[in-house]
C-alpha cells in the first residue's frame, strides 16, 4: 500500500492572519464551482487566458507582503505573473461560492481586496441559487445584477433561461440554470 497523499489544507492569509478554510464546503458548493469552471474553460479554449478552480493562490499585493487568497474561480491572462501555485497579477474575473464558514469573508474583506486589486468583475454565488455580479466602476464595485434562480416555468419571475455573459469575455455566456445544474435546489 502506497502512502496517501497528504491533503493540502486550504487556507488564506489576510493582513498577516491565516484563515483555515477547512472543513471542506458542501458538495453543492463543488457542483456550482464545477459548472462555472467547465463553462468558462470551454469558452477560453483558444485563448491565452486560463481559468483556475480552487487551486491557485492570488497574491494580491506582492510588493507589500505575502498575503494571499485562494479564489474559487479565477481567470488570468498575463501568465508572466504565474509562479508555482501562485499568481501575482490582476485577475480578469473572480467568483466565490459562499459556504456558511466563508460567507462574511466573501462579502466583506475579500470583496474589498478584489476591488482594490482592480478585478473588474466579481461574482458571489450561493449554492441555493443566488448570484450577485459586481462590476468595477471608477475603482468601486457596483452591484450590476442580482438573481435568485426561479426554475419553475409557471412562475411569474421564471428566470432559468436568463443569459449571463462575462463582461471581459462577452463570448462566454451561460444560462442561470446551467450554473446551478445538479444542485437540487
pLDDT digits (tens, 9 = 90+) for 132-159: 999 999 999 999 999 999 999 999 999 9
Cα Dmax for the chain: 58
Distance in angstroms (rounded) separating the CA atoms of residues 91 and 70: 12
Q: Which of 119, 124, 179 is nearest to 149 (CA)?
A: 179
pLDDT digits (tens, 9 = 90+) for 6-49: 445 578 999 998 888 776 778 999 999 999 999 999 999 999 99
Distance in angstroms (rounded) separating the CA atoms of residues 11 and 27: 19
Distance in angstroms (rounded) separating the CA atoms of residues 182 and 185: 8
Please, what are the domains in the chain?
A: 24-179 (3.90.1570.10)
Distance in angstroms (rounded) separating the CA atoms of residues 51 and 169: 12
Amino acid at each position: 500500500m502506497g502512502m496517501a497523499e497528504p491533503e493540502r489544507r486550504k487556507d488564506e492569509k489576510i493582513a498577516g492572519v491565516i484563515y483555515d478554510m477547512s472543513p471542506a464546503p458542501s458538495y453543492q458548493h463543488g457542483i456550482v464551482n464545477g459548472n462555472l469552471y467547465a463553462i468558462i474553460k470551454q469558452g477560453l479554449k483558444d485563448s491565452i487566458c486560463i481559468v483556475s478552480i480552487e487551486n491557485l493562490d492570488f497574491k494580491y499585493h506582492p510588493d507589500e507582503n505575502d498575503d494571499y487568497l485562494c479564489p474559487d474561480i479565477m481567470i488570468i491572462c498575463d501568465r508572466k505573473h504565474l509562479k508555482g501555485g501562485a499568481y501575482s497579477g490582476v485577475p480578469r474575473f473572480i467568483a466565490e461560492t459562499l459556504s456558511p464558514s466563508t460567507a462574511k469573508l466573501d462579502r466583506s474583506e475579500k470583496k474589498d481586496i478584489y476591488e482594490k486589486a482592480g478585478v473588474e468583475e466579481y461574482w458571489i454565488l450561493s449554492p441555493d441559487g443566488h448570484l450577485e455580479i459586481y462590476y468595477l466602476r471608477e475603482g468601486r464595485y457596483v452591484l450590476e445584477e442580482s438573481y435568485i434562480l426561479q426554475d419553475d416555468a409557471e412562475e411569474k419571475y421564471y428566470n432559468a433561461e436568463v443569459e449571463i455573459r462575462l463582461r471581459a469575455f462577452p463570448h462566454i455566456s451561460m444560462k442561470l440554470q446551467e450554473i446551478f445544474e445538479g444542485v437540487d435546489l
